[in-house]
Chain A
Amino acid sequence: MTDLRLVLKSLMARSASTAVTCLLIAIAVALLLSMLSLREAGRRSFTRGVGNAHLVVSGDSSPLVAVLNGLFYANAPRAALPESKVVEITTSFPWAWAIPTQLGDSFRGFPVIATTPQFLEDFEPAPGEPWVFAEGRNIELPFEVVLASGVAAATGLGIGDRLHLTHGMGVGGAPPISAPSVESSMVASVPGPPVDESLEAEADAHDHSHDHAHGHVHADDGEHVHDEVVFEVVGVLEPSGTHHDRLVVTELQGAWFIHAIDRREVAGRALPVSVEDLEAGDRLITGILLRTPVRAGRNSAAVLQGAFDRLRRDPSITVASPSTQVDRLFGIVASLDAVFIALGGGILLSGVISVMLVLWNSMELRRRQIAVLRVIGCPQRRILGLVLTESAIIGLVGAIVGGLLAVGGASLAAGLLAMRTGVVIAPTVDPQATVLIAAGTVALAALAGVAPAIKAYRTPVADNLRPLD
Chain B
Amino acid sequence: MRIPEFSLAADEQVLLAGSSGCGKSTLLLLAAGLLDAASGEILLSGRSITAARGGRRDAIRADRVGMVFQTHHLLPGFTARENVSAPLLFGGVRPGEHAAIADALLGRLGISDPTTRVDRLSVGQQQRVAIARALVGNPSVVFADEPTAALDPENAVKAVELLKDVCRECNAALLLTSHDPGLEAAFSRVVRFTELAGTSEVVG
Contact = CB atoms under 8 A, between A and B. Distances in A.
B177 interface: no
A468 B91 CA distance: 28
B85 interface: yes
A379 B87 CA distance: 11
Contacts of A467: 69-71, 146, 149
A381 B55 CA distance: 8
B82 A375 contact: no
B49 interface: no
Contacts of B77: 9-10, 12-13
Interface string B140-175: 000000100100000000000000000000000000
Given A376-B62, A377-B61, A467-B70, A369 B90 contact: no
Interface string A370-385: 0111111111111000
Interface stretch (B29-37, B121-129, B181-189, B190-198): B29-37
A380 B78 contact: no
Given A6-B89, A9-B82, A380-B54, A468 B62 contact: no
B87 A377 contact: yes
User: In this complex, which of A2, A376, A467 has the most chain B Cβ atoms within 10 angstroms of its Cβ?
Assistant: A376
Contact of B75 (A3, A369, A380, A462): A369
Interface string B36-77: 000000000000000000110011011100010111011111
A13 B117 CA distance: 11
Contacts of B75: 9, 369, 372-373
A373 B149 CA distance: 23
B55 A1 contact: no
A462 B35 contact: yes
A251 B62 CA distance: 88
Nearest to B137: A377
B180 to A, nearest CB: 14
Contacts of A294: none
Given A9-B82, A372-B73, A379 B90 contact: yes
Contacts of A5: 82
Given A9-B82, A467-B146, A380 B58 contact: yes
A41 B25 CA distance: 67
B76 A369 contact: yes
A373 B67 contact: no
A9 B77 CA distance: 7
Contacts of A380: 54-55, 58
B73 A465 contact: yes
Nearest to A377: B62
User: In this complex, which of B71, B74, B88 has the most chain A Cβ atoms within 10 angstroms of its Cβ?
Assistant: B71
A1 B35 contact: no
Contacts of A376: 62, 67, 86-87, 90, 133
A13 B77 CA distance: 6
A380 B25 CA distance: 22
Nearest to B98: A1
A459 to B, nearest CB: 12
B71 A3 contact: no
Contacts of A451: none
Contacts of A2: 89, 95
A6 B85 CA distance: 10
Interface of A: 1-3, 5-6, 9-10, 12-13, 368-369, 371-382, 461-462, 465, 467-468
The 7 closest A-B pairs by CB, nearest first: A377-B62, A13-B77, A377-B90, A1-B85, A376-B87, A379-B58, A379-B55
Interface of B: 25-26, 29, 32, 34-35, 54-55, 58-59, 61-63, 67, 69-71, 73-78, 82, 85-91, 95, 98, 133, 137, 146, 149
27 contacts: A1-B86, A1-B88, A1-B98, A3-B89, A6-B89, A9-B75, A374-B34, A374-B58, A375-B34, A375-B61, A375-B67, A376-B62, A376-B67, A376-B86, A377-B59, A377-B61, A377-B63, A377-B87, A377-B90, A379-B58, A380-B55, A382-B90, A461-B35, A462-B26, A462-B34, A467-B71, A467-B149
